[in-house]
Structure 1
Amino acid sequence: MAKIIGAFASQQEVIDTINALEQAGFVQGEMKIIAKDGEHSRRIEAESDVHVDELEELASTISGQEGDGSRGQEWAAAAAIPAIGLTGGGSWNPGFAAAGLTAIGGNLTGDFIIGDEDRIHGALIALGLDEQEASSCRDSIREGATLVVIDTDDSKSLLDKDGGPDLSRLGIAEGIYRQNGASRIFTGS
């Protein structure tokens, strides 16, 4: 699987991008739209009929702050398990440990121990981005950008020729991102 991620400043840019991607043959299963919150997603969902994942809602759910916490605790456990414990240098990482305590039923709240940066990062990982992609996209989301993620089985390297145009589906998606005003484009794994 390979990804390309575009960060867009306006909802209209995202709607135009979704329409162009669909015209180019991309289907909803290959597209993931990620917004900071409901304020950044309502119009996109209404005008494109594509679901938008809202990070604030997901981050709250992951940290066990919404509803009865049962679903949030499951997601928190899934997002926190790889990172709980000691970091590479043998030091304790309290942010991830707190996520783990919340995941196993502790009473710690995400806002108290886990900062917004960790909450956003954890939510991006829960949505399928890897560590590097989540780190790259976190600042754009915090600044209010909406992400359009194309995740395809296509390999960009299959069609790459020395100095030639990129004819892969990821190359087509990148061209659409550029045409529709992407403020940043991230290449994923």
Structure 2
Amino acid sequence: MTMKIGIFKMEEQAVEAVKALEQSGFSRNEIKVLAKDGDHSRRIEAETDVDADEVRELADTRDQMDDGYGFGNLGPVGLAGTVGMVGPLTGGAWPYGAGILAVGGLLVDENGMEDAIHALGIKGDDAGVCREAIVDGALVVTADTGDGSQHNIGQDLSREAEEAFRRCGAERIL
């Protein structure tokens, strides 16, 4: 799968980009929108027929699935260090205090969001660029431009996707 990526600062631009891609011949299954959270995705879903993926929620879910306690990105070393410091104060109970959860939240932003973006098909350095943009509140629109075998007469639609992103005011195109 080959992908063209557009980064948009405003929801209106992302909505217009989805519509422009559809007018250029992309199906809703070939378009993805990545948003920071539900607050950033509502307009996309309301004004287009494309579902937006909320990256923060995906990262949180993936993190909780790692170990069942919500500390998936901390790993055994992080847990051992935390228990050693807080254990005496809590009588040895699992320390679900605000400070520890805040550390977990920071790691989700740094590692979990990028892992979630990778899982959605964005690879390499592009995943880090997209993570930074999403953390800053931007929306990421991707178009599966094909590998020469998916589309009509085997054409690569990367140029059409890039033109649609430019027309709609993409801050950056990858």
Q: Same fold (TM over 0.5)?
A: yes
Answer whether contact 1:60 1:110 (CA < 8 A) is retained: no
Of the three residues 106, 109, 112, the one matched with 2:103 is 112
| Partner Cα distance (1:50, 1:124) in 2 | 17
Contact 1:36 1:146 (C-alpha < 8 Å) held by counterparts: yes
Kindly report the root-mean-square deviation, in angstroms, between the aligned alpha carbons of the 2 structures.
2.8
**Letter aligned with residue 146 of structure 1:** L
**Equivalences for residues 35-46 of structure 1 within 5 A:** 35-46=35-46
Question: Structure 1 stretches of 5 or more lacking a match?
Answer: 65-71, 75-94, 156-166
Task: Read off the aligned partner of 2:60 and give its amino acid letter.
Answer: S
Runs of 4+ aligned residues of structure 1 deviating over 6 Å after TM superposition are 107-110
TM-score normalized with structure 1 length: 0.67
> Which amino acid counterpart does residue 140 of structure 1 have in structure 2?
A
5+ residue gaps, structure 2: 80-93, 149-154
Query: Which protein is bigger by CA-based radius of gyration?
Result: 2
SS in 1 for 2:140: strand
1:151 equivalent in alignment to 2:128: no
- Matching residue of 1:63: 63
Q: Output the CA distance in 2 between the equivalents of 1:63 and 1:110.
A: 12
Larger relative contact order (Cα-Cα within 8 Å, sequence gap ≥ 6): 2
1:182 aligned partner, one-letter code: A
Residue 15 (str. 1) matches residue 3 (str. 2): no
Q: Distance in 1 between matches of 2:162 and 2:121?
A: 19
Q: TM-score, normalised by structure 2?
A: 0.72
Task: Say whether 1:123 aligns with 2:122.
Answer: no
Match of 2:131 in 1: 138
Cα deviation per residue 1:146-177 (whole Å; 9 max; x = unaligned)?
A: 0001123245xxxxxxxxxxx84111100000
Structure 1 vs Structure 2: percent identity of aligned residues? 39
Cα distance in 2 between the residues matched to 1:111 and 1:126? 24
1-structure distance, mates of 2:27, 2:147: 14
Q: How far off its partner does 1:116 sit?
A: 1.5
Match of 2:32 in 1: 32
| Closer, same or farther: CA 49–16 of 1 in aligned 2, 3 Å | same
More helix by share: 2
Q: Structure 1 counterpart of 2:163, which letter? A: G
